[in-house]
Amino acid sequence: MENQELIKKCTEVAQQWVDSPLYDKETQAEVKAMIEADDKTPLIDSFYRTLEFGTGGLRGIMGAGTNRMNIYTVGAATQGLSNYLNKNFKDLEQISVVVGHDCRNNSRLFAETSANIFSANGIKVYLFDDMRPTPEMSFAIRHLGCQSGIILTASHNPKEYNGYKAYWDDGAQVLAPHDKGIIEEVNKVSVADIKFEGNPALIEVIGKEIDDIYLAKVKELSIDPACIARQKDLKIVYTPLHGTGMMLIPQALKMWGFENVHTVPEQMVKSGDFPTVQSPNPENGEALTMALNLAKQLDADIVMASDPDADRVGMACKDDKGEWVLIDGNQTCMIFLYYIIMNRKAQGKMQGNEFVVKTIVTTELIKEIAAKNNIKMLDVYTGFKWIAREVRLAEGKEQYIGGGEESYGFMAEDFVRDKDAVSACTLLAEICAWAKDQGKTLYDVLMEIYVEYGLSLNKTINVVKPGKSGADEIKAMMEGFRANRPTELAGSQVVCTKDYAVLKQYDAEGNASELPMPETSNVLQWYTADGTKVSVRPSGTEPKIKFYVEVKGEMGCAKCYAGAREAAMQKVDEVMKSLGI
């Protein structure tokens, strides 16, 4: 009976799309076919709710329907954002925005649709002539003095998805109060309110002129150009995984002085179908298969891959046995910050007011590296909008020199306010050149960090709980952890509990103190006497609860890594047993 009611409700909403003159014929035909089909699953999936414009924008499967990415859901988002901009900047003579997009199917259509809607609302639009990396769009907002910007991308999601990210005038994704203000405006919009007819006089196409300025700024991030000149033949294999990285990353590597860059030909083809990978996600080893095969043929020094919108970077290097190994997101972030700190110091480039940023679920070894080198380090929530917030707050007072998170994102600069695979790939190549200049590899550098600071092994465990019952179970798990705080994990006493939902931290005796964070978040963390850290939070986009486990170990020498890592992996298992997982 419940399912029949849902089918009836979805059919009624869908029929409005078929009957209304506001929807195009192609969309209406697609919806009509869903209504008439025996299998009502596509109808329900497409119409059981309205795709929600959240604090990160929109993301969903493409197709007709209220719960799908299409010109109407994208149009409502853009109309709502336009309304908010016109209210917030009403005293400006001309409000302006940047519109960018990635390689995905329909991304260009959605970008042009959005540009038309902005312009129809009296807002000047700088529209990129073709796909571009997300970080370049962020850069363009600041460079062109715009009030906002959007990028049409679903990042590293499967090919069926697309998305819409909204940015503010500082080049970062929107934060409070603007995030909630935009959501309120979007929720007020009906299809009849959307102004689809653009004003061509307010749309300016941009491209190479912005590329050149952005790439010149990225080149300024090079810390040791002389080292690159000595190691210009460093053998690099790069793949954009069919995405926007192909537009700038090979060019950026050449500008930095690298003359031996090899791209994966099959993956230098722009395609929203991502035909050569199961998933265009550089976090997954499978996505690097073709690049690794080429690297083995060439006996390369480094493999790097960017995701479809070129904000994340995945990498692989050879270990001490000459075998190719993947470097995870925590290790990547740590290597970047270690190199930046050590080499800025070595070259006398430190002014004494520098700081770095990491997210609360990223490895604590970064904190130790920063502390030993007298560099201020800040912990923020997951997401680069929070890193960008710290950069904005410190502007004119302190110097940001790098920040990142465990999910393969790094931002080496302050002229972009989002993670950036363009600067990350070029800086990664410089780190490899610096290592090779000393007769070392990237792997050797990682081992040296572990020997000096101790081993840190990080593992993320996802516990999937689908459906409404699963959501209730996840909620109950979080409530259970809060009501019965663990006192020990894998035999080590819990000395600190952090509850970001109430912004409190508790010591082993239960004494509470304030957590200085800008807003609450449904995250719990436990720290033990032996250096173990566990973070737990429900996923905001999928039916799962995520556990981020970090355990410490000792490494007397680089050759001790295998044994220390195995012991750490066993410790992770013991920690999860302590939590009943």
What are the phi and psi torsion angles at 297 (to 5°)? -60, -40
Cβ(290)–Cβ(262) below 8 Å: no
521 is catalytic: no
Q: Which of 165, 98, 166 is nearest to 136 (CA)?
A: 98
d(CA 80, CA 178): 12
d(CA 500, CA 182): 25
Catalytic residue, chosen from 119, 155, 407, 492, is: 155
DSSP 154-221: -TTS-TTEEEEEEEETTSSB--TTHHHHHHHHHHH--GGG---S--GGGEEEE-HHHHHHHHHHHHTT
Sheet holding 399-405, edge to edge: 376-380, 354-359, 399-405, 409-411
Helix spans in 378-441 (H): 384-394, 421-437
Contacts of 379 (CB under 8 A, 6+ apart): 357, 358, 359, 360, 367
DSSP category for residue 560: G
Q: Kindly state the tokens that stand for 54.
A: 């959240």
HSE-CB at 61 with a 13 A cutoff on CA atoms is: 9
Using alpha carbons, list the distances in angstroms from residue 381 to 59, 333, 401, 459.
Answer: 21, 16, 18, 18
DSSP 12-79: HHHHHHHH-TTS-HHHHHHHHHHHH-S--HHHHHHHSSPPP-BTTBEEEEBSSSTTSBSHHHHHHHHH
Sheet holding 236-239, edge to edge: 261-263, 236-239, 302-306, 313-318, 324-327
DSSP category for residue 312: B
Q: For residue 410, what are the β-bridge partners?
A: 404
Name the residue with tokens 């909204």: 166
d(CA 151, CA 131): 10
Q: Is 443 exposed, middle or buried (0-12, 13-18, 19+ CB in 10 A)?
A: buried
- Using DSSP, state whether 281 is helix, strand or coil: coil
Q: Residue 13's CB: how many other CB atoms inside 10 A?
A: 17
Beta strands in 432-491 (DSSP E): 455-464, 488-489
Rg over alpha carbons for the chain, rounded to the nearest Å, is 25
Q: Which residues of 201-227 are buried (b: 16+ CB within 10 A; e: fewer)?
A: ebbeebeeebbeebbeebeebbbbeeb
Residues acting as catalytic residues: 155
